[in-house]
Structure 1
Amino acid sequence: MSSSGSVSHFAVPKFDGKSSFTLWQRRMKNFLVHLGLSRALKGDQAKPEKMSDNDWQELCEKCVSTIRLCIADSVVNSVIEEESPETIWEKLEKLYMAKSLTNKLLLKRRLYRLRMEDEDTLVGHMNVFNGLIDELKRVDVKISEEDQALLLLNSLPDSYEVYVDTILCGKDMITLEQAQSALLSFDARRKDKAGVRSDDAVAAIAHGGGRGRSSIRDYKSKHRRSKSQNAPKNEVRCYKCGELGHIRRDCPKKHEGKNDANLV
């Protein structure tokens, strides 16, 4: 596959200095590996013995060009004086992967304040969490496996409280991998149950048949009786004589037909 074709199909989003440098750097490294250019990041000592100087120079120039195409103009200005892949890479790390106390504080604050909203997906939330953990590792901040797991569980909304209690029940310690695996399993079962309930509801409506129609008739019948029983008497009309104020069973004229028949 040619480099131009690869760039068009696998281009890395441009790093603008505001988004996650760690994530961009990882994608960029994978991109360069895919293009066969990553060796140039290690400097001239990484040049293969059988490669000519001209071929090595061309490879390095392609690597530099590819990196610059994947960073925004404002970031390009910061490394415009750098000519080799190695020096550009190192300069970007110094600028955007600072290991200062301020940067460590900002990353820790983002991690400890991270909360999953109800509309977020579990997988998406865990990706954000893992990204922050990875960035902290890159600046030499170590968080134990157990603390990572507890921080993740603590970042979940109240709707996951039962799952969290179940995961922690009877355990003396837990790792991040165990917590994530259990959460994904619970989430999958919850989605399956929701799908079954939805399917059952649709099936009941679609295939209710006589039983469903009978239930609807029963409801309507009870509803009508309730309305007539609760209606004011002056609004009730007798079906025997047509007068207001009483119903047929209480009609004073309901025996008139029978009396006439007896007389005959």
Structure 2
Amino acid sequence: MEGTSSDNLLNKFFKSDMIKLDRFDSTNFTRWKDKLLFLLMELGVAYLLADNLPKIPEPSDGESDEIKASHKKREEDEVRCRGFILNALSDRLYDLFRSLKSPQEIWKALENKYMSEKQGTDRFFTMKFFEFQMLDNKSVMNQVDELLLLVSRLKDLSIEVSDQLQVGAVIAKLPSTWNDYWKKLLHTPETFTIDQLTKHI
């Protein structure tokens, strides 16, 4: 992969406690994008992804030293930003997007490809959440964890499931052998958080 200095700096961020960024492998695009954007902001190159970014003017002989320095910085930032984005991709996606020459092109291509796929993913996980039903022959706690994992995946897709809806979903989806228990919960005046409910189960 290209850009040794970019690699070193990016790896430093990967290993830091400030941000945990896994290389993007075509899953959880929204979460990865948000984390990478934060990283690029910290590195001072996120401005290059703005829609209204002015183009770099062609260099001319009459430029002042200040303009030349600004021009040089912009070019260096473009190289660094492109390197950061590419190195935050899996090897497969790196090879797929490395032909694009600017960070803006790579960013737009990623958004166009994976934001459209996200819409189908939204529907898939939403359907899985509503259709989820616990079975008698499996551990209830393991199945609660599976349901909460779906909630986490929905959150990654910017679909919030409120705490009370999570509580209601867990109670409603308990297996038939738990009927007496969930009826008791339904008639209790106490309000549970999802954490409190899982401790009761």
C-alpha separation in 1, matches of 2:43 and 2:132 = 36
TM-score normalised to structure 2 length: 0.60
Is residue 76 from structure 1 mapped to residue 115 from structure 2 by the alignment? no
Amino acid at match of 1:13: D
Gaps of 5+ in 2: 1-7, 56-65, 135-139
Residues paired across the two proteins, number = 168
Q: Does 1:34 align with 2:42?
A: yes
Which residue is equivalent to 1:153?
Answer: 168
**1:21 to 2:2 alignment:** no
On the 8 A contact 2:129/2:151 being kept in 1, the answer is yes
Query: What does the per-residue CA deviation read over 1:182-211, in whole Å, with 9 as the maximum and x for residues that have no partner?
Result: 323x259x48xxxxxxxxxxxxxxxxxxxx
Relative to structure 1, the CA distance from residue 53 to residue 111 in structure 2 (aligned partners, 3 Å threshold; closer, same or farther) is: farther
- Whichever residue aligns with residue 65 of structure 1, its letter is G
Give the whole-Å Cα distance in 2 for the aligned partners of 1:15 and 1:100.
Answer: 14
Which of 65, 73, 91 is matched with 1:55 structurally?
73
Larger radius of gyration: 1
In 2, are the aligned partners of 1:15 and 1:71 still within 8 Å (CA)? Answer: yes
The structure-2 alpha-carbon separation of the partners of 1:7 and 1:44, relative to structure 1 and needing over 3 Å to count, comes to farther
Shift of 1:78: 2.7
Deviation at 1:26, TM superposition (A): 1.8
Q: CA deviation at 1:91?
A: 0.5
Distance 1:134 1:100, change over 3 A: closer
> Could you tell me whether the CA contact under 8 Å between 1:163 and 1:183 is conserved in 2?
no
SS in 1 for 2:107: helix
What is the SS of the residue equivalent to 2:23? coil
Structure 1 unmatched runs, 5+:
138-142, 171-178, 192-264
Write the mapping of 1:1-264 to structure 2, written as runs, cut at 5 A. 3=9, 5-9=12-16, 10=19, 12-17=21-26, 19-42=27-50, 45=53, 52-98=70-116, 102-114=120-132, 118-119=141-142, 126=148, 128-135=150-157, 149-150=164-165, 153-155=168-170, 158=174, 161=182, 165=186, 182-184=193-195, 186-187=196-197, 190=199
C-alpha displacement of 1:107: 3.6
- Deviation digits for residues 128-167 of structure 1 (CA, Å, limit 9, x no counterpart): 4144145265xxxxx8x78x95366314663784796368
Cα RMSD (Å) = 4.3
| Residues 78, 126 of structure 1: alpha-carbon distance in 2 compared, 3 angstrom cutoff | same
Overall identity of the aligned pairs, in %: 17
State the TM-score, normalized to the length of structure 1.
0.48
